[in-house]
Every structure is written in structure tokens, then in C-alpha cells.
């Protein structure tokens, strides 16, 4: 059962990685931490689930809608919580995002109810590769995650805004002096981060067939742990961190007990922070 | 002098009653209502179950009040939302027991929530009649506690016989919800199954809030069981079944206790719950007149077939009303009369309390076929 | 004198004595168990918020794990009382001692990290503590919680109603606030503030910053544990979900809204935010939204809260030092 568990872990880990990349984009460019990322992920998941259950749209349209909703939400959060407190240090924006996360969670309960909202199944088939049964949906999820990472890389490496982001990440005062519209970069980085979170939310909803208002808390914290694991500012580090946490979690269920799966993620986070605060691959964003 | 006070009191009471009647004009009741408290999960993870109770209880109360109430007094239900959280159910117990209007309490939903509130009802001397609590240690825990759904001590061995003798499956794995009910349910099943010669390959648990079962299902699959016994609720069972289907694990039979018996399971689980075995103390096609009256009424009012949770709540409120009709709204008298209950015709079967104040139920064998619960008769 | 500088002394008895007398008379005027219950809860949160203020307010160490220490205290009292039959007057200090032992361990491990990293480690610890409580069924009964905790006793008499608990928590609050006021006005307290304002300067002024920071953590977590012990004997039931990250956030919100770095701030914040949701029942389902909006409003428009030290949230000390790890820079500042 080792190989199937590795595949389960890889699937989950790839979605944690998407959440973790969001934290890297935000910390990398703005040097700030958000606590509302999990709730953005949850809202994206609800947007996707509604698209599939109420309007009966195909899953990829739902994915796009979830990403768009998260984009808008991220854009707004940056405006409310981060823009007015640009020079206030870490804590005030962090505390504001705590407030936002409480509000978003409660709004979701008011709008959608506290219970599970079922999400229809897609790709229920399995295929056999080298004697191992693999779920088609798991392959689709891995494909979506990989595709989004490739797109992000193209954006960061190949476009003008990507260049501006990299410059801002290195030194935003220098970038500002060189004529980069730093505020616009912050805004886009935040929205982009949220958008990836929303994508992860939609896919997890499809994977587990359920979305619910408190789903963001655990995902946000685990994405965050993955981001710390990889060193806060490294996209490859975040991807690696996400996948390692996903795999270790599933192996914990296999060899220990299912209740302890989440302990592992946080234990890893604390140990990394204490022993090697710069993470495994802690480097600046420019080395992406 | 004494007479004077009496007169004044009577006058005051008359005025109060008139005032109340005036205020509550539409209901046209002249007598003070009898208050019964209900502690139930109306929001939170178990909200659907609590709302099922609410529907059934409201309908029953409507019927009782329409027929003249209890000796001329209407019933009024005071709901408290416990979220089935032990913290909240204990707080509600404080509130209910200190409210002198309340005659008795119905609830809570989970064994854990009921047991957390138990010492408070016990101390205050108020009946706590739970429609669903089935932990074998619950009702014996206080002379004021009553359970009407039957206990796992009865259902566990019944399910084990179903699995081993009826279906002939002897290699069994267990996946249970990690709470008082789930643990009791698992223990009684495993104990009986082992006595019948079955082999328990593995036992795993999950938390009420879990949504991802892929890892634990993958682990159980590696043990190659013929049957998995899953003490759980229909929400998680629906998710579990869908995820099991996606993992391509189709060569094991799934079975769980009567908590799974709900039309909602079919709705949420779709094709993935076909071939699932369970049991029921309540079956809507039961021809008994009290069952048909309940089912027809519920369908007419709510456009949905009642599930087991609605049925036990309906029995709980009717039993309570019947008891109060006999002895009045005195907390102690209600307890003593309730303990003497003989052959109360509930929709979930006849109710006779044992000396432990729980009930021995008749279970039926069910299986899901083509998206419908059907009686298993082989 | 501004409110945030207020410290109860013999000389300003006319300010605090009437409040104390009013609080003593309160349960004689109010008969409702429900209102007394709210008052008892407010009392518990006064301890929690005031103790969090020691690290987060006075010393400028941002801890996000307060609910974990609160929970450790509650479980310590619950387990000792139900399994070993240890009486209330012993479980209460033991709850504080066990919580502060964990506090010391966390502090020794992590206080070399500054600002935001400390916040992150304490969040990790918060989640781990919750999950361990949930999983260690043989000790904690896991998701089922521990029922049947005996009530608090005073001279052998078990408290039955909330009136007794009210007087007990009032006495406890008075004691805790008195101790905290003595600490923060002592040399140690001034060292806390010096570290918050500028750690390097504090160091060069001869303050042993590391032991001082550990001490601040130990004191804060000790009182959190005491609050937990009281909670266990009052609620008479503990379960893991009372001590999650949400709870830390709630305590933190009370502290921010009341104001950090002052004695009255956390007391005002705790009472205000416990009473407000109860007083505005019509807001029932919007409760979280109201909490969140108040928090955001305070940060944006009055960062020092109702009675905090002005500018505290933006001080240049450990609170907001901008550190950014990178391979070139090696260790964070």
C-alpha cells in the first residue's frame, strides 16, 4: 500500500504547494504574512462548488470561477488590510487579516450554512499503471497543479509585471526608485497568490466531494507550514515543502494513526523554524 | 385575613391569565402552557440531525395542541442550540434546570453531549430523555436519564450476526468515529464478532471534522478485508463511499449501524452507497397505523420522508406528553411515571424501559439497492 | 494622568476602591444565574488577557499560543481532580505550574527568534497542543473531553451556583491583577518595557535580555494555566475544542481592543468583548463579523485600543523588527 499512499500524498501535497506559493508571493514581495489566506481558499472553493451544483457548469469552468472569485477577494484584502499600513511593520496587517479571517468564516456560515455542501464527483474511473490502480481524478489534480505552477513561472520570468515583481522582491525601495509601480506589484502579487489559493480550494472540494466554512483553517496553516519549510521566499521550496508535508501526512496514517497526521505538519514547521529559520531552500525570489 | 389574601391572589391570577390570554390571543389558550426544553444541535456539524428532531417535534406538538393539549394546557417547546458540543449542552442544562417553568428536557443528540450535561440534570432532578443517545453507560449513569433508541449493547451483536451469519463475511476491518458513541459501537460489534469466529484485521478511527478518508481507506484496503464495519453518520459515510469509489476499491462489503439510515445518505452518496448494509428501528413502509400517521403527516408538512432521527424525536415528545398527561408537570412525578412506561406504541417500536432506563429494540436488516433502502430477506 | 498609566496604589484608592465595592455588590443586585455566568466568564478572560499582555504588551514578544497554555492548565486540573482526587486549592496552582513549565520550554527553544518568527512557532505549538490533546485518548479522553470534574470548594464547601464562583473569580482577579501590577512596576517590569522599546539598547544598559524574556513568558503562561484550572472546575467539563487557535485569536482581540502595555487595557477589553456579544443577542449569527470589524477598526483607527500605550503596536522593538531570512544574511535578526 506504499505506492498508493505516496500518490495520495503527492495529490494532497500538490494542493498544499499551491497554497504555500501564495504565502511566498506575498512574503517575498511585501515581506508580510497574511492570516486570511485559508479563508480566501475557502471562498474560492465555495465559488467553484456553487458553479458546479447551482449552475451545473463543467469542473474547469468552476475552477476558473473559483480562481476569479479568489482574485477579486485578494485584491480587496490587499486594499483594506495592507495598503493603509504599508509602513506599520508586521503586526498590524497580520492582526487585520486575523479580523478578516474571522469575518469571512462567519460570512460563509451565514451565506452557505455551517454544514458540508456536497460537490459532485468527476472522473470516478481508475486506471492501472504497472499493476497499480490510480484514480484518474488524482492525475487530473496533479496536472492542474503542475500546469498552474508552469503558468506562474512563465508569468514571473517572461512578462514585464513578472520582472517588476522580481525587482520588488529584491529591494522594493530600489525598484520604486527605478520607476516600478510598487503598489501595483503588491496588488497583483496578492491577487495572484489568492487566485492560486482559490484554485487549490476548488480542487480540494472536488477531491473530497465537500466544501464547508471552516475548511480554510487547516489548509491555510498547512500551506503556511510548507512555505516556512521551504524558506518563506522560495517558490521551489514551497512546492517541495507542500509535497513533503502531503506525503508525510499520508505515511503517518499508514504507519501511525490517522489522528496524528496533522501533528506532523506542525511539528515539521516548529522544528524547521527553531533549527533553520531560513528554511531548507531559503533564498530570495529572484532565484526562481 | 387569610381569606383576604386568598381572594386577592385569585384575583391576581385571574388578571394575569386574562392578560396572558389577551397577549396570546391568536392561540386562544386560557391555561398556562407546559414547557418542555429541547437541547439539540440546530447549527454546527450535526445541524441536520437536530433540524430533523425539530421538524418532528414541532409537528407532534402541533397535533397535541390541536387536540386540546395536555388536560387543557398547551405544550410549549423551548429549544436550545447545543451544536452537540458538550460545553454548550452543559451550559444549556444549567439554564434549563434553573428555569422553574420547565418540566422536563429532551436531548441531547450525541452521547458525548448528553453525558456532559448528565450530572447537572441529575443534581437538579430533571428528566433528561434522549432520543438518540445509545452509549450503554449513559442511561444507567443517573436515575433521571432515559434513552429510547436502544443501546450499542443491543445493536452491536445484531450487526455482527448480520455480517457473519447472514452475509458470511469473516474477515472484517473497522473504521469508527472517534467519540463515545463510536467507541462503544465498535467495541460491542468487535466483541460479538470475535465470539462468532470472525477475524478483525484492523481498527481505525476518524474525527467528526475529517473530510479526507483517502489515506485511511488506502490503509484498510491493504489489509484485504471482506467487510468493513463503519460506525458513523450518513454525512461522513457519503463522503467515504464516494472517495472509496474513486480509489477503485469495490471488492469489500460496507456495513454500518442504523445511524446511517436516512434518505440523505442516498442523496449525498449516489451510486457509491449501493450495496451498503445497515439496520433500522424505523421503516417508513411499516404498515402499523401509528407509523403511517407519522409518515403521511411528515411528508405532507415537509415534503420529505422522515428519517430515523425524526422518528425517535417524535417518539420522545409523544412519550413525554403522555407521561405528563398522567401525572402533571411535576419534575419528580414525571421521572417516576416515565420509568413505569409499558408498551408505549412508538413509531420506532414498543417502548418498555429496562431497569437501566434504556430500551431493547427490534432491528430490521436493510440493504441499499438501486439507490433505495430495501429490507434484506435471505 | 492618562488611563494607560494607571496602576492601583494606596494613594489612588478613590479610583479603584469604588469599582471593587461595586463588583462586590453586583451579585446581591443581580439574581440571574445567566448574568452571573457571564460575569464569571468575563473574570476568566480578564486573567487570560492580562497575562497575554505581559508578553505581547509589556515585553513585545508576540505569542499566538495563549489558548494552548490555558488548555494545558484546564486539562491539568481536570485530570488531577478526576483521576487522583486532588482538591481544588491544589489543582489550581498545579495548573499554573504545569502550564508555565510548557511556557518555559517553548521560551527556551524559541525566544532566540525575533518578532514574527516567534509568532509562527507559537502558532505551531498551539496546533500541536490541540492535536495531542485530541489524540492522547488514554490521558485526555480525546474528542470526548473530560466530564464530571468536581466543583470548586472553599473550606470544604462545594460551590453550587454561580454566585460562589463569582466571588471566587473576583478574588482571583484581584490577586492576579495585584501581582501583575507589582511585577510591571518592579525592576523586572521596567526591563520588559526596555526590551520592547529597543532590545539592543536594553542589552547595552546591562539587562540580561534572554532570561528576562523567558521570565516574561513563564509568568504569562503561569496565569493562563491558573485561568484554565478555574475554568475546568467551573464548567466541570473540558474538551479540546475550547482551546484552539480561534480562542487565542479571541484573547488577542480582547487585548488589542482594550489596549496593550497598560494595566486597565486588557481588563476593559476582556469585559467589553465578553459582555458585548451577550448584550447584543440580536446580532447572534453576526457575532464573529462584529468581532472582526471591531478588531480591524481598532487597528486602523486607534491602534493603541481603548486604554493601551499609544504607538505600542508600531514600536521599533521586537514587535515589528523587519527580518527577512535569506541565504546571504544567514540567521534572522
**Helix ranges restricted to H, chain B:** 2-23, 47-66, 86-97, 111-124, 152-161, 180-195, 214-221, 234-246, 263-269, 289-302, 308-327, 331-339
Are A38 and A220 spatial neighbours (Cβ–Cβ below 8 Å)?
yes
**pLDDT one-digit tens code per residue, B170-215:** 999 999 998 888 998 999 999 999 999 999 999 999 988 888 899 9
More confident residue, B37 or A132: B37
Residue A231 vs residue B33, higher pLDDT: B33
Distance between CA atoms of residues C68 and C75, nearest Å: 10
- Find the mean pLDDT for residues A42-68: 95
Chain B residues with CB inside 8 Å of A209's CB?
238-239, 242-243
C-beta atoms of B90 and C236 within 8 A? yes
Q: Could you tell me how many CB contacts below 8 A there are between chain B and chain C?
A: 45
Q: What is the residue-wise DSSP string for C278-305?
A: HHTGGGGGGHHHHHHHHHHHHHHH-TTT
Q: What is the pLDDT of residues B82-120, one digit of tens each?
A: 888 887 888 889 889 988 899 999 989 988 889 889 988
CB half-sphere exposure, A213, CA atoms < 13 A? 19
Domain membership flag for residue A39: yes
Cα separation, C151 vs B126, whole angstroms: 20
| pLDDT higher than threshold 50 for residue A161 | yes
Contacts of C148 in chain B (CB under 8 A): 119
Residue B232 backbone class (left: φ over 0; alpha: ψ -120 to 50; beta: rest):
beta
Q: Is the pLDDT of residue C143 over 50?
A: yes
Query: Could you report the per-residue pLDDT of C246-264, keeping only the tens digit for each?
Result: 899 999 999 999 999 999 9
> Between helices C33-52 and C264-279, what is the axis angle to 10°?
140
What pLDDT score does C317 carry?
37
The C-alpha atoms of residue A7 and residue A135 are separated, in whole angstroms, by 9
The x, y and z cell numbers of residue B22, run together, are 389577551
Chain C residues inside the 8 Å CB shell of B115: 147
Task: Give residue B243's pLDDT band: very low, low, confident or very high (50, 70, 90).
Answer: very high
Q: Which of C33, C143, C237 sits opposite B116 (nearest CB)?
A: C237
Residue B378 pLDDT: 62
The DSSP code for A84 is: G
CATH class of B31-150+288-351: alpha beta
Compare CB distances from A253 to B44, B219, B238 and report the shortest one's residue. B219
B235 interaction partners in chain A (CB closer than 8 Å): 115-116
Rg (chain B; Cα; Å): 23
Return phi, psi of residue C328, to 5°.
Answer: -70, -40
For residue C287 the three cell numbers come to 457575532
Q: What is the mean pLDDT of residues B33-60?
A: 90
Q: How far is CA C126 from the centre of its chain?
A: 14
pLDDT at residue C3 greater than cutoff 80? yes
Give B246's contacts in chain A (Cβ within 8 Å). Answer: 121, 123-124, 126, 135, 137
The pLDDT of residue A166 is above 60: yes
Which residue would you say has higher pLDDT here, C323 or C243? C243
CB contact under 8 A, B116 and C147: yes
Distances (CA, A) of C254 to B356, C32, C130: 47, 25, 21
Q: How far apart are CA A158 and CA B270, in angstroms?
A: 46
Residue B29: what pLDDT?
Answer: 62
Max Cα-Cα span within chain B: 87
In a domain, A157, yes or no: yes
Answer whether residue C63 shows pLDDT above 50.
yes
Among positive and negative, which fits the CA dihedral A66, A68, A74, A76?
A: negative
Q: Which of A89, A95, A221 sits opposite C127 (nearest CB)?
A: A221
Better-scored residue on pLDDT, B135 or B19: B135
Distance, first Cα to last Cα, chain A: 35
Contact indicator for C61, C213 with CB cutoff of 8 Å:
yes
Contacts of B180 in chain C (CB under 8 A): 144
Neighbours of chain C (3+ CB pairs under 8 A): A, B
Q: Using CA atoms, how far apart are residues A183 and A168, in angstroms rounded to an integer?
A: 10
Helix (H) or strand (E) holding C303: none
Confidence check: pLDDT of A48 > 60: yes
Which residue in chain B is spatially nearest to C146 when comparing CA positions? Answer: B116
Question: CA torsion angle for A178, A179, A183, A188 (degrees, to 10)?
Answer: -90
Q: Which residues of A touch C300 (CB under 8 A)?
A: 84-85, 96
Three-class SS state of A118: strand
Is the pLDDT at B19 greater than 60? The verdict is: no
Asked if residue A273 is part of any domain, the answer here is no
By the 8 A CB rule, do C213 and C51 touch? no
Name the grid cell of A24: 511566498
> What share of chain B has pLDDT > 90, as a percent?
57
Backbone angles phi, psi at B45, to 5 degrees: -60, -30
What three-state secondary structure class fits A166?
helix
Residue A115, domain member (yes or no): yes
The Cα of C17 is separated from the nearest Cα of chain A by a number of Å equal to 35
Alpha carbon distance B266, A118 (integer Å) = 13
Predicted confidence (pLDDT) per residue in B246-256, tens digit: 888 988 999 99
The band of B20, judged by pLDDT with boundaries at 50, 70 and 90, is: very low
Cell triple for residue A202?
476548488
Bridge partners (DSSP) listed for residue B73: B70
What does the pLDDT read at residue B207?
87
Nearest Cα to Cα of residue B302 among B263, B270, B265, B271: B263
Domain coordinates of chain B in residue numbers?
Answer: 1-30, 31-150+288-351, 154-280
Residue with cell 529572484: A286
Q: Which residues of B touch A249 (CB under 8 A)?
A: 215
Cβ(A196)–Cβ(A152) below 8 Å: yes
pLDDT the model gives residue C283 = 65
Domain contains A156: yes
User: How many Å apart are CA C152 and CA A279, to the nearest integer?
Assistant: 47
Q: How far is B64 from chain C (nearest CA, A)?
A: 31
Chain A residue with Cα closest to B224: A1
- Mutation to test the A interface, candidates C116, C286, C313, most A Cβ within 10 Å: C116
Mean pLDDT along residues C135-144: 86
Cβ of A233 within 8 Å of Cβ of C324? The answer is: yes
- Beta carbons of C115 and A90 less than 8 Å apart: yes
Does residue C61 belong to the interface with chain A, where contact is any CB pair within 8 Å? no
Q: A residues 68-97 near C, CB within 8 Å?
A: 80-81, 84-85, 88-92, 94-96
How high is the pLDDT of residue C285? 67
Residue A149 falls within a domain, yes or no? yes
Cell match 489558548: residue? C67
Residues 6+ away with beta carbon under 8 Å from B242? A121, A209, B269, B270, B272
Cβ of residue C87 closer than 8 Å to a chain A Cβ? no
Please report residues of B whose CB lies closer than 8 A to that of C242. Answer: 87
Confidence of residue B24 (pLDDT cuts 50, 70, 90): very low
Q: Is C102 left (phi over 0), alpha (psi -120 to 50) or beta?
A: alpha
Render C83-129 in DSSP notation, one character per residue. HS---HHHHHHHHHHHHHHHHHHHHHHHTTS-HHHHHHHHHHHHHHH
Measured distance CA(A44)–CA(A36) in Å, rounded: 12
pLDDT above 60: residue C318: no
pLDDT of B309 above 60? yes
Query: Of all helices (H) and strands (E), which one includes residue B365?
Result: strand B364-369
Mean pLDDT over residues A103-127, rounded?
85
Residue A115 confidence (pLDDT)? 73
Tell me the DSSP string of B183-234: HHHHHHHHHHHHHTT-EEEEEEEE-TT----HHHHHHHHTT--SEEE----H
Rounded mean pLDDT, A152-159:
91
Please write the tens of the pLDDT for every residue from B258-306.
Answer: 889 888 899 888 889 999 999 988 888 888 999 999 999 999 999 988 9
Report how far Cα B275 is from the mean position of its chain's Cα atoms.
Answer: 25
Per-residue pLDDT, averaged over A115-130, amounts to 84
Q: In Å, how far are B173, B181, C142 from B207, measured between CA atoms? A: 17, 12, 10
Q: Per the CB < 8 Å rule, is A215 touching B216? A: no
What percent of chain A stands above pLDDT 70?
95
CA distance A59 to chain C (A): 31
Quote the pLDDT of residue C322.
Answer: 39
Which one-letter DSSP state was computed for residue C11? G
Please check whether residue C275 touches A, CB under 8 A.
Answer: no
The answer to whether position A275 is within a domain reads no
CA–CA distance, A91 with C198 (Å, rounded to integer): 16
Interchain proximity A121–B242, CB inside 8 Å: yes
Across B361-376, average pLDDT: 89
For residue A87, count CB atoms less than 10 angstroms from its CB and return exposed for 0-12, middle for 13-18, buried for 19 or more: exposed
d(CA C201, CA C193): 11
Report the SS3 class of residue C236: coil
Closest partner residue to A273 (CB to CB) among C120, C286, C293 is: C120
CB contact under 8 A, A270 and C319: no
Residue among B116, B119, B208 minimizing CB distance to C143: B208
DSSP state, residue B128? E
DSSP C149-172: PPPPEETTEEP-SHHHHHHHHHHH
Mutation site, C35, C74, C148, C237, interface B, largest B CB count within 10 A: C237
> How many Å from the N-terminal Cα to the C-terminal Cα in chain B?
79
Contact across the interface for C288 and A80, Cβ inside 8 Å = no
Interface membership of A217 toward C (CB under 8 Å): yes
Contact between residue C111 and residue C210 where contact means Cβ atoms under 8 Å apart:
yes
Q: Which residue of B has its CA nearest to A3?
A: B218
CATH dotted code for B154-280: 3.40.50.2300
Q: Which of C129, C131, C116 is nearest to C63 (CA)?
A: C116
Can you give the pTM of this predicted structure? 0.84
Residue A257 counted as domain residue: no
The residue of chain C nearest to residue B124, with distances taken between CA atoms, is C160
Task: Decide if A107 touches C, using CB distance below 8 A.
Answer: yes
CA distance B365 to B162: 8
Range of the domain at A190: 2-215
Cell numbers 485559508: residue: A38
Interface mutation vs chain B, best among C145, C159, C234, most B CBs within 10 Å: C145
Which residues of B sit within 8 Å Cβ distance of C?
85-87, 90-91, 94-95, 98, 112, 115-116, 118-119, 123, 178-180, 183, 207-208
C-alpha cell at B43: 447549527
Region A45-52: mean pLDDT is 95
In the 8-state DSSP scheme, what is residue B342?
-
Q: For residue C288, which residues of chain A lie inside 8 Å, CB to CB?
A: 102-103, 105-106, 109
Number of domains in chain A: 1
Higher pLDDT, A253 or C315: A253
Cβ contact B218:B192 at 8 Å? no
Amino acid at each position: 500500500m506504499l505506492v498508493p499512499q505516496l500518490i495520495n500524498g503527492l495529490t494532497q501535497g500538490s494542493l498544499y504547494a499551491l497554497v504555500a506559493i501564495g504565502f511566498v508571493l506575498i512574503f517575498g514581495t511585501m515581506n508580510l504574512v497574511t492570516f486570511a489566506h485559508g479563508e480566501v481558499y475557502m471562498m474560492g472553493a465555495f465559488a467553484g462548488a456553487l458553479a458546479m451544483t447551482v449552475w451545473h457548469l463543467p469542473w474547469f469552468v468552476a475552477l476558473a470561477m473559483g480562481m476569479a472569485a479568489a482574485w477579486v477577494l485578494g485584491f480587496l484584502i490587499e486594499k483594506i488590510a495592507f495598503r493603509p499600513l504599508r509602513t506599520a511593520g508586521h503586526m498590524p496587517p497580520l492582526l487585520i487579516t486575523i479580523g478578516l479571517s474571522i469575518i469571512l468564516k462567519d460570512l460563509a456560515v451565514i451565506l452557505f450554512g455551517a454544514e458540508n455542501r456536497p460537490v459532485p464527483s468527476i472522473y470516478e474511473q481508475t486506471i492501472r499503471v504497472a499493476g497499480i490502480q490510480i484514480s484518474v481524478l488524482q492525475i487530473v489534480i496533479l496536472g492542474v497543479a503542475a500546469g498552474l505552477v508552469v503558468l506562474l513561472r512563465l508569468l514571473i520570468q517572461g512578462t514585464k509585471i513578472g520582472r517588476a515583481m522580481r525587482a520588488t522582491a529584491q529591494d522594493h525601495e530600489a525598484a520604486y526608485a527605478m520607476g516600478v509601480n510598487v503598489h501595483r506589484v503588491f496588488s497583483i502579487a496578492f491577487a495572484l497568490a489568492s487566485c492560486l489559493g482559490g484554485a487549490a480550494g476548488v480542487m480540494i472540494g472536488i477531491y473530497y466531494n465537500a466544501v464547508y466554512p471552516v475548511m480554510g483553517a487547516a489548509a491555510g496553516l498547512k500551506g503556511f507550514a510548507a512555505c516556512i519549510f521551504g524558506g518563506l521566499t522560495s517558490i521551489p521550496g514551497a512546492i517541495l515543502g507542500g509535497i513533503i508535508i502531503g506525503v508525510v501526512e499520508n505515511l503517518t496514517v499508514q504507519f501511525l494513526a490517522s489522528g496524528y497526521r496533522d501533528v506532523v505538519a506542525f511539528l515539521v514547521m516548529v522544528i524547521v523554524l527553531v533549527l533553520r529559520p531560513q528554511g531548507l531552500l531559503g533564498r530570495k525570489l529572484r532565484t526562481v | 385575613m387569610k381569606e383576604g389574601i386568598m381572594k386577592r391572589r385569585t384575583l391576581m391570577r385571574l388578571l394575569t391569565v386574562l392578560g396572558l390570554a389577551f397577549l396570546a390571543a391568536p392561540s386562544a389558550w386560557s391555561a398556562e402552557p407546559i414547557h418542555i426544553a429541547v437541547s439539540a444541535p440546530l447549527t454546527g456539524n450535526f445541524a441536520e440531525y437536530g433540524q430533523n428532531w425539530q421538524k418532528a417535534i414541532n409537528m407532534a406538538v402541533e397535533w397535541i395542541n390541536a387536540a386540546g393539549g395536555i388536560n387543557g394546557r398547551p405544550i410549549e417547546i423551548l429549544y436550545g442550540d447545543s451544536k452537540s458540543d458538550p460545553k454548550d449542552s452543559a451550559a444549556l442544562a444549567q439554564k434549563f434546570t434553573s428555569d422553574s417553568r420547565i418540566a422536563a428536557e429532551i436531548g441531547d443528540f450525541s452521547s458525548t453531549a448528553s453525558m456532559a450535561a448528565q450530572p447537572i440534570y441529575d443534581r437538579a432532578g430533571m428528566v433528561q430523555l434522549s432520543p438518540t443517545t445509545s452509549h450503554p453507560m449513559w442511561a444507567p449513569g443517573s436515575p433521571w436519564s432515559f434513552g429510547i433508541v436502544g443501546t450499542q449493547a443491543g445493536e452491536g451483536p445484531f450487526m455482527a450476526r448480520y455480517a457473519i451469519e447472514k452475509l458470511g463475511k469473516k474477515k472484517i476491518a473497522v473504521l469508527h468515529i472517534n467519540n463515545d458513541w463510536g467507541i462503544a459501537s465498535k467495541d460491542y460489534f468487535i466483541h460479538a464478532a470475535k465470539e462468532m469466529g470472525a477475524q478483525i484485521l484492523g481498527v481505525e478511527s476518524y474525527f467528526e471534522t475529517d473530510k479526507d478518508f483517502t489515506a485511511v481507506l488506502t490503509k484498510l484496503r491493504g489489509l484485504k478485508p471482506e467487510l468493513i464495519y463503519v460506525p458513523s453518520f450518513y454525512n461522513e459515510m457519503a463522503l467515504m463511499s464516494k472517495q472509496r469509489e474513486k480509489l477503485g476499491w469495490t471488492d469489500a462489503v460496507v456495513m454500518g449501524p442504523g445511524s446511517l439510515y436516512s434518505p440523505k445518505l442516498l442523496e449525498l452518496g449516489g451510486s457509491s452507497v449501493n450495496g451498503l448494509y445497515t439496520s433500522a428501528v424505523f421503516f417508513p413502509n411499516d404498515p402499523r397505523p401509528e407509523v403511517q400517521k407519522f409518515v403521511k403527516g411528515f411528508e405532507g408538512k415537509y415534503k420529505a420522508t422522515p428519517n430515523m432521527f425524526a422518528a425517535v424525536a417524535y417518539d420522545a415528545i409523544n412519550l413525554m406528553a403522555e407521561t405528563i398527561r398522567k401525572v402533571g408537570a411535576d419534575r419528580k412525578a414525571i421521572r417516576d411515571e416515565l420509568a413505569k412506561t409499558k408498551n408505549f406504541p412508538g413509531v420506532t417500536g414498543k417502548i418498555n424501559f429496562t431497569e437501566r432506563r434504556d430500551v431493547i429494540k427490534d432491528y430490521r436488516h436493510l440493504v441499499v439497492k438501486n439507490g433505495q433502502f430495501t429490507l434484506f430477506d435471505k | 494622568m492618562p488611563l494607560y498609566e494607571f496602576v492601583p496604589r494606596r494613594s489612588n484608592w478613590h479610583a479603584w476602591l469604588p469599582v471593587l465595592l461595586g463588583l462586590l455588590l453586583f451579585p446581591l443586585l443581580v439574581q440571574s444565574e445567566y448574568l452571573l455566568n457571564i460575569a464569571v466568564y468575563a473574570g476568566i478572560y480578564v486573567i487570560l488577557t492580562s497575562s497575554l499582555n505581559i508578553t505581547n504588551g509589556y515585553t513585545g514578544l508576540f505569542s499566538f499560543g495563549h489558548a494552548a497554555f490555558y488548555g494545558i492548565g484546564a486539562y491539568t486540573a481536570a485530570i488531577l481532580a478526576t483521576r487522583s482526587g486532588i482538591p481544588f486549592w491544589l489543582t489550581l496552582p498545579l495548573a499554573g505550574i504545569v502550564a508555565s513549565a510548557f511556557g518555559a520550554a517553548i521560551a527556551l527553544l524559541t525566544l532566540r527568534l525575533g518578532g514574527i518568527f516567534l509568532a509562527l512557532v507559537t502558532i505551531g505549538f498551539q496546533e500541536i497542543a490541540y492535536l495531542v490533546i485530541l489524540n492522547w485518548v488514554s490521558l485526555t479522553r480525546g474528542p470526548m473531553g473530560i466530564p464530571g470534574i468536581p466543583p470548586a470548594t472553599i473550606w470544604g464547601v462545594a460551590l453550587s451556583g454561580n454566585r460562589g464562583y463569582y466571588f471566587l473569580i473576583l478574588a482571583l482577579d484581584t490577586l492576579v491583577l495585584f501581582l501583575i501590577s507589582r511585577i510591571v512596576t518592579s525592576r523586572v517590569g521596567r526591563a520588559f518595557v526596555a526590551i520592547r522599546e529597543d532590545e539592543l539598547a536594553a542589552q547595552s544598559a546591562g539587562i540580561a535580555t534572554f532570561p528576562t524574556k523567558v521570565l516574561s513568558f513563564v509568568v504569562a503562561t503561569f496565569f493562563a494555566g491558573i485561568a484554565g484550572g478555574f475554568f475546568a472546575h467551573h464548567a466541570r467539563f473540558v474538551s479540546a475544542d475550547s482551546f484552539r487557535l480561534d480562542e487565542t485569536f479571541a484573547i488577542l482581540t480582547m487585548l488589542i481592543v482594550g489596549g496593550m502595555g497598560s494595566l486597565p487595557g486588557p481588563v476593559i477589553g476582556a469585559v467589553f468583548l465578553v459582555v458585548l456579544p451577550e448584550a447584543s443577542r440580536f446580532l447572534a449569527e453576526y457575532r464573529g463579523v462584529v468581532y472582526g470589524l471591531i478588531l480591524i477598526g481598532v487597528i486602523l483607527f486607534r491602534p493603541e485600543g481603548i486604554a493601551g500605550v499609544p504607538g505600542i503596536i508600531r514600536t521599533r522593538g521586537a514587535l515589528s523588527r523587519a527580518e527577512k531570512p535569506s541565504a546571504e544574511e544567514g540567521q534572522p535578526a
